[in-house]
Structures are given as C-alpha cells and as structure tokens.
Structure 1
Amino acid sequence: MIVRNLKQAADEGRKIVSPDGNWDSTRMLLQDDGMGFSFHITTIYAGADFDMHYQNHLESVYCISGEGEVQSREDGQVHAIAPGTLYVLDKHDRHTLRAKSEMKMACVFNPPLHGTEVHNAEGAYELEAAPIQQG
C-alpha cells in the first residue's frame, strides 16, 4: 500500500515549479510506484495563459477549485473550467489553458511521469526524465 500526504510529498521534493511561472505540480504518484499512471495535484496560477501539446502522454484533469478555460487549438472550441469539471486529452490534443483565478487540479498521466518533467518548447513532457531523488 502506498500512502502519501500532499504537504509531505512537497517537502520531499515532489513539488515541481514550472520555469515559466504558470504552475506548480506535486507529483503524488510516479512511474517508480509501478501503477502504470502518475497522479498529480497541480496549481495553475491566476492569469496563466499557455499552450500545451502532450505528444507523449494522455492526461485527464479534474478541477478541484478555481475557474478558467481550456481551448482546443484544433477547432478553437473553448470549454469553461470550474470545480467539478473534468477534461480529458485523449487524442494528444493541442490546447491552451487559461486561469481566471488560481485553479487546483487533480491530474492523471499515462504513461506515468518520472518526476522532474517540465514542459518542453512544444508544451509537452519528454518520455524520459530524471526521477525524483528521495532523501
């Protein structure tokens, strides 16, 4: 059984802050945990507006708090995000995420992240990244 606390996970180096200042993500479950997916609690900062394209991963995102929108860069359709909203990037969707207020999101990635990934120039996570070193 794996049991983790959000604050403890952050204190153990599992909290990653984006270099562009748009988000932080506490990686609660990673590839090394052997579950076949990773689970993150991510904060999107108020006013963030950025493009992503997860070419190597599928993602589901559940909004816990805050408000914003996600826009498909394929067809331009905009979807409101509020507490209780789930959006799923099931086709490696190119998208833009905008935060009207700070948003807390629960995110699941398949395949799982290793731990230290941040978005590359295309808004994707690489398949291989350094695992988080415990201790």
Structure 2
Amino acid sequence: MIIRNLKDTIKTEDHKQTEAWDSVRLLLAKDGMGFGFHITTMYANTETEIEYKHHLECAFCISGEAEIIDVKSKTKHLITPGSLYALNEHDRHIVRCKKDFVIACVFAPGLIGNETHDAAGSYPKAHEGTKSC
C-alpha cells in the first residue's frame, strides 16, 4: 500500500515547476502501478502546446478554467471544475488557461518524475522495464 500526502511532496524531487505550470507527482513509474498520478496547476494567462507521443493522459479539473484546443481539428473545449478530458490518441493540443487551472492527472505509463516537456511538447519514452497498464 502506498500512502502519500500532497503537502509532503511539494518542494521534493517529485515536484516539477516551470514558468507555465507546477506538477506535484504523487505516483511515479518507480511505484510499479503502471500509471502515474499528479496534481498539476497550469497558471492563468498561459498557453502550452503539448503532444504526449509516449504517454496517455487523463485529466480531471478540480478548479479554474481552461480551453483545450485539438490542434488537428481546431475544436475547442471549455474545461471547468468537474470536467474530464482524456488524450486517448496522443492528441496534440493546446491548453489555454484563463484562470489558474488545477487538474488531477493520470499518465500511462507513469513518469520517472523529473521530466519536463521537450521542444515538441512531449515527455521522453518510458524507460525499458517500466510497467504499463
């Protein structure tokens, strides 16, 4: 059994911050669950283009507001508290935050913990031997 508290993970090696977002990574590949779990805050008035080529992501909005734009179709979706979005086809997308946007995220496979987006908006491929769902 794994028990963790958000406040105990802040400012540790499992907490990653950039100018546009802050991600507290509570469950990682090393935990052997086959997926990861993060609480991420994307900051108001930011726009981030992302394409997870090697991971699937599901995000549930806890607070705030953002527009998710599917780059391929140009479709826009307003995400507010209680909404979920899932990137089930490695969808290239833009997250345009109107307010601080707090989401609970599940990644499959789980991240190692220190990753940040590369120039293409992706995380590196999972290391060999990393368990996937």
Same fold by TM-score greater than 0.5 = yes
**AA of the residue aligned to 1:2:** I
**AA of the residue aligned to 2:64:** G
The aligned residue for residue 83 of structure 1 is: 81
8 Å contact from structure 2 (residues 34, 110) kept in 1: yes
**AA of the residue aligned to 1:8:** D
Sequence identity, in percent?
Answer: 46
* TM-score for both structures, normalised by structure 1: 0.91
**Gap runs ≥5 in structure 2:** 128-133
8 Å contact from structure 2 (residues 109, 126) kept in 1: no
Map Cα deviations across residues 38-78 of structure 1 (whole Å, 9 max, x no partner).
00000000011121110010000100000111000010000
* TM-score for both structures, normalised by structure 2: 0.92
The aligned residue for residue 131 of structure 2 is: none
8 Å contact from structure 2 (residues 54, 126) kept in 1: no
| RMSD of aligned alpha carbons | 1.1
Q: Distance in 1 between matches of 2:117 and 2:67?
A: 19
The alignment covers a number of residue pairs equal to: 127
The aligned residue for residue 38 of structure 1 is: 36
3-state SS of paired residue (2:89): coil
**AA of the residue aligned to 1:74:** K
